[in-house]
Amino acid sequence: MENLETLFQSFETGIRSAKADKPKDYLKSIGLDYAELRIGFNSGQFHHRKDQEFKDEFEALGMLKKSDAGVREETMTAYTVFGSYGLIFPLVDKENRIVNYFALRFKLETTKEEYLNSEGIYPAYPPPLTKRLYIAPTVIDCASLIQSKTLENREAIITLQNGELLNQHLEAIKALHELEEIIIIKR
């Protein structure tokens, strides 16, 4: 999904912005570094000053939903944005294309984790020669293990989606013909 790829690049630019102090502080508080991992920041404004065709595309992908919120002009449409003011992690398909996002919305009263859809794997499909596969319960647990640099040659990690092992996970595991061990990380 080219649009999710391009949008994620803007989120990666967003996390590097001088104005993104709060997202950077939150990442630091949970021990993650956006310079080492693919993490973006969705300020919730990617659709501002864009034409309706642009908005329609992202509405079809689930990134935008029409809202009843008041707007300045009658000709404008209000939208709620998936993962607004949140950290965004990309999930990919077999071809390593971004097909889904995991959002960690940290500015709410209670931190909220959500997926855009049920496609893809985080951080990626494991390499075919993987011998030991770790399965993490959450994207944050997975990102922490990746950043710790403790994975050795021929080890890989994938994340469950909302605590579930989905068809794409099973498909990825079945493709690992040299797999010797699966380690399930529990919270």
Q: % helix / strand / coil in the chain, to the nearest 5? A: 25, 25, 50
Residues 153 and 66 occupy one common structural domain: no
In a domain, 122, yes or no: no
Give tens-digit pLDDT for 82-110: 899 999 999 999 999 999 999 999 987 88
d(CA 34, CA 50): 27
What single letter denotes the amino acid at residue 145? L
Residues 74 and 147 occupy one common structural domain: no
What integer is the mean pLDDT of 105-122?
92
pLDDT value at 144 more than 80:
yes
Give tens-digit pLDDT for 173-185: 999 999 999 999 9
Q: What is the pLDDT of residue 46?
A: 81
Residues 99 and 174 occupy one common structural domain: no
Q: Indicate the number of domains in the chain.
A: 2
Residues 100 and 136 occupy one common structural domain: no
Beta carbons of 129 and 103 less than 8 angstroms apart: no
Domain that holds residue 77: 2-115
Give tens-digit pLDDT for 31-72: 999 999 999 999 888 877 777 787 788 888 888 887 766 556
